Amino acid sequence: MSDVVPLRRNPRFTRLWSARVVSRFGSALSYVVLIWLTYAETGSSLAVAYVGLAEFIPTVAVGLFSGALVDRFDRRRVIVLSVLGRSAAMGGLVLVLEIFGFRLPFILLASVVFSILATFFGPGSQALLPEIVPRDSLADANGLFESSEAIVGIVGSSLAGVLIVVVGAVPSLGIDAASYLVAALFIALIGGSIVSRAPPADRPSLLGEVREGLAYLRRALGLLEVTVAALVLNFWFAFVLTFLVIYSTELLHGSAVVFGILETLIAGGWGIGGLLVARLGLTRYTGRLWVYSAFVEGGAIFALVLVPRVVVAVPLFLAVGILQGVLNVAGSSTVQAVVPERLQGRYFATENMVSFAAIPAAQIVGGVLILLHGISFTFLVAGVGSLLTGGGLVWLKELRRFGYDPRPPG
């Protein structure tokens, strides 16, 4: 049974929660503003793609090393420094744009720096959570993170458009820089004991710590299978998320309102699903959920193509959003409960890197398929791929066993 009252009474958790919510707001705001500013000034879709690559490549390139650094040092200090760095990067970009006007190289440089620093925040905050809340409250805590960040993401993205009109794009980035200062303050105020790290003399090199994390993942077969399952299924699901605007206009014959509603349903469902994990004790079935999700999402994609109606798409996108929220919270909570504390930063950094790697690959493959055969065929490929993936996952015994029971013994 879910019980969030102890979490609300835990000041360390509320400060971490506040930092994540504020940071998520800033990320949603800056993403919309940077994309809009780039396209408005250049009129080039290629320039927009460059901004996307500037955010993606550093995540893959430095993800493993950022996870090792999160595990090596006090996680609170690492998170604070990363958030302060993001604030400085955005503030510096605001000054440059105000003085020199729009310059795409400055946008790209700031995006690269911003992305590198962001690789510390996610794994760091996820690995910090088990130091703050007890094991049986992990699913509740992650569910609150998931639901709150989903709502704030919608608000931040929506507010970005209003701010661009009211105060302008560059001042909006200044608001974003200020939000990271607030997030850093919340992290700095987290008190309590610090989990000790190995003294410098006992530590392997940074590369050695990266290898240690990868070696652990290879030995933990259930965890490895979950990670691979997430990579493959995220690839197929990225087809839907990336090209949802095309599906909305070409198959549903809808306006921007329809597209916005479907996006909101996915995000809202994500938050609802996150809250269901603790209430239903779903961390006991984390691995099986990935197997089930492959068939559910595959079937949903087929329905979207075979019955292209708004009245069908609305409940399906809400259901898929809920399922994604369940998977995220169940997966994060299980990892925090079963992976050794000293290795969690490295695992979460690896998992983030793997998830990011699936997105551009899906964008490239999906874009080519749409160009050659259209959106219906592309979605059907994603549906078939998801169903075939589920058929393969069924045979993975350790995956089906992966999970943890949050209930105390007896």
Specify the CATH number for the domain of residue 356.
1.20.1250.20
pLDDT at 359: 75
How many CA atoms lie within 13 Å of 299's alpha carbon, on the beta-carbon side?
Answer: 9
Same domain for 181 and 274, yes or no, is no
Residue 202 pLDDT class (50, 70, 90 cuts):
low
Reported confidence tier of residue 326, pLDDT bands at 50, 70, 90: very high
Q: How many domains does the chain have?
A: 2
* Alpha-carbon distances, residue 382 vs 53, 287, 299, 372 (angstroms): 23, 21, 10, 15
Q: Quote the domain boundaries for residue 104.
A: 10-203
264 with 157, same domain: the answer is no
The first and second tokens of residue 255, run together, are: 């306006």
Q: What is the model's pTM?
A: 0.82
Average pLDDT, whole number, for the chain?
Answer: 84
Asked whether residue 215 is domain-assigned, the answer is no
Same domain as 108, residue 15 = yes
| Domain-located, residue 80 | yes
Q: What is the pLDDT of residue 64?
A: 75
Residues 338-356 pLDDT 10s: 888 888 888 888 887 777 6
Q: Is the pLDDT of residue 387 over 90?
A: yes
Instruction: State whether 249 and 381 are in the same domain.
Output: yes
> How many residues does the structure list for the chain?
410
pLDDT value at position 242? Answer: 75
Determine the Cα angle at 236 with ends 233 and 240, to 5°: 125
Q: Residue 62 has what pLDDT? A: 78
